Amino acid sequence: MATKRIPSFDSHNPATAEVVGTYPIMNAKQVGEIVSHARNASIQWQKLGFSGRKKVLLAWSTLIIKRIDHIATLISLETGKPVGDAKLEVSIAVGHIAWAARHAEEIMRTSYRAPGLLLANMSATVQRSPLGVVGVIGPWNYPLFTPVGSISYALAAGNTVVFKPSEYTPGVGMWLEEIFSEVAPFADIFTTITGLGETGGALCTSGVDKLSFTGSTRTAKIVAAQCATTMTPVVLECGGKDPVIVAADANLERAVDATIWSAMANAGQSCIGAERVYVDERVADKFISLAVELAQTIHAGAPGDGNYGPATMPSQIKVIQSHIKAAIKDGGTCAYGGPESVKAPFVQPVILLNVPEDSVAIEEETFGPTIIINQVKNMREAIDLSNASSYGLGANVWSKRQGKRIAAQLACGMVAINSTFSFAAIASVPFGGVKDSGYGRVHGPEGLLEYTYPRTVVRTRFNLPLNLLSFKRKVREENLVVRLTGWLKGRFG
Ligand code: NAD
């Protein structure tokens, strides 16, 4: 008798194309069943309370750190990034789990609000309640850090979670679930499902109470449309085209060091990686020569060899190549590397100069180890060009005296002054973007509150002779309210 074949897919080592693992492609029925188990578990998970959940989450984070060698090797195998980079990623993710576990209670504490003069006999409170089941869809570029930024905050708030990792990094997603099950007091609190885009689509319409998506802007729009059919709210963490602004008073050595790392580390596959630099023309020559000098010392290669690895997703190579070619065709020049730097699956560092602002290389996310350096006359021009993008994720500003002033004028979700990437590792601050970079936030109190809903509870503390919400109301009482409104100019609060 012929047995029915379960559809599956392979994950690959992008440096060698070898198969790392094989995983089932889950269909809508299977996803629905898992979500319904997660819904049943959510009642018990909520009952555990903040201290019970904190214990579980801290035990999870401790176990992840204990097994860091194993998971860093697996991350490196599935993404191609150096093991050292993977370890850093795991460490930062663990910081987020611990922060969410320790702060959930205080962030979700019932808040007391002023009822206003007219309703001074009432008490007004806002409670915070977990949503129920949260669906998380993750990308491959930081396959542990990125989803954990949603998963741990949703769990700490009292939700159960169903997670679909990227099809390029399913092993990391499965490992996270396995490790969680070692510390979980019961089943179905955190479950990983595997599959391609369609499995993600099934999660969107499965009836989860919120969907937290991290990935490309193109997929985010499909996810939002799918979620709209079931009125499922979404958090969308999408791509970016992060600018770096370098003022004349910047510490150029540090600015170059951080910018080249930000642009090239992880093979340029960072949503908050530097993609374009606007440098004051007075210091541009020095900045460019230092950047080229530094780029000469780094190279792409397999883990253990390169400073960064291959393109994790083979199809990205074409995008990177087309952006380099477009930049040159549109009038830009190469200061270091060029089209010949692309040798799949690796891309060696590329520095491009004076690329017109209407080039696709400036307008779209490249997601490769390339950086464009354009000169500006002043900081006003740098700010305007930074803000002209359809994206608005992060930005870096390098200046000794003007950092805060420039940062306040940038249309984006996060700015690092005299630093790069740092906001992603500070658990207490929200992470997310505006415009095509998405909406909603992960991390910090704002990120935790995304996985809760506010419940307003007002209570009569004592009865007033004036009862406006009654058919027994008198005309003179109505007139009194109107007169009061006039005297107080509407300031009831
Ligand atoms: P992607 O959009 O291709 O895929 C992301 C996830 O969506 C994957 O799990 C994929 O299986 C799933 N998916 C695909 N089609 C779907 C569908 N129709 N319905 C539901 N799910 C579907 O993105 P990627 O290539 O994995 O990740 C790279 C992108 O992610 C880059 O643009 C990067 O900037 C962005 N990113 C953003 C952040 C952030 O926090 N803002 C962090 C990391 C990465």
At 425-441, the pLDDT tens digits run 999 999 999 999 999 99
pTM score above 0.95 = yes
Pairing of strands 122-130, 414-417: unpaired
**418-422 CB contacts, 8 Å cutoff, 24+ apart:** 418/250, 418/251, 418/254, 418/255, 419/258, 420/244, 420/258, 420/259, 420/261, 420/262, 420/274, 420/396, 421/262, 421/270, 421/272
Tens digit of pLDDT for each residue in 347-397? 999 999 999 999 999 999 999 999 999 999 999 999 999 999 999 999 999
pLDDT at 3: 63
Do 332 and 355 meet the contact criterion of CB atoms below 8 Å apart? Answer: yes
pLDDT at 61: 98
> What atom of ligand 1 comes closest to residue 239's alpha carbon?
34
Mean pLDDT of 475-491: 87
Do 333 and 352 meet the contact criterion of CB atoms below 8 Å apart? Answer: yes
Task: Say yes or no: CB of residue 435 within 6 Å of ligand 1.
Answer: no
Work out the pLDDT band at 117, boundaries 50, 70, 90: confident
Residues facing residue 239 across a β-bridge? none
Mean pLDDT of 278-290: 98
Tens digit of pLDDT for each residue in 231-240? 999 999 999 9
Q: Which residue's alpha carbon is at the smallest distance from atom 21 of ligand 1?
A: 200
How confident is the prediction for the chain on average, in pLDDT?
97
Do 262 and 421 meet the contact criterion of CB atoms below 8 Å apart? Answer: yes
pLDDT at 1: 54
Do 309 and 299 meet the contact criterion of CB atoms below 8 Å apart? Answer: no
412 given a catalytic annotation: no
The residue whose two tokens read 């269909």 is 27
> What atom of ligand 1 comes closest to residue 313's alpha carbon?
25
Distance 351 CA to ligand 1 centre (A): 26
Do 263 and 373 meet the contact criterion of CB atoms below 8 Å apart? Answer: no
Instruction: For 491, list phi and psi in degrees, rounded to 5.
Output: -80, 75
Task: Say yes or no: CB of residue 273 within 6 Å of ligand 1.
Answer: no
Catalytic residue selected from 78, 89, 167, 237: 237
pLDDT at 384: 98
What whole-number distance in Å separates Cα of residue 257 and Cα of residue 297?
A: 12
Task: Say yes or no: CB of residue 115 within 6 Å of ligand 1.
Answer: no
Mean pLDDT of 91-99: 98
Task: Say yes or no: CB of residue 79 within 6 Å of ligand 1.
Answer: no
pLDDT at 386: 98
Output the CA angle 90-92-93, nearest 5 degrees. Answer: 65
pLDDT at 116: 87
Alpha helices per DSSP H over 138-251 = 145-156, 170-183, 197-204, 217-228
Q: What are 199's two structure tokens?
A: 């499995």
What whole-number distance in Å separates Cα of residue 319 and Cα of residue 296?
A: 23
Question: Is the model's pLDDT at 82 over the cut of 80?
Answer: yes
Work out the pLDDT band at 189, boundaries 50, 70, 90: very high
237 given a catalytic annotation: yes
Catalytic residue selected from 204, 227, 271, 412: 271
Mean pLDDT of 11-34: 97
Buried b (16+ CB within 10 A) or exposed e, 395-427: bbbbbeebbeebbeebebbbbbbbebbebbbbb
Question: Is the model's pLDDT at 492 over the cut of 70?
Answer: no
Tell me the domains of the chain and their CATH numbers. Answer: 8-238+443-453 (3.40.605.10), 242-426 (3.40.309.10)
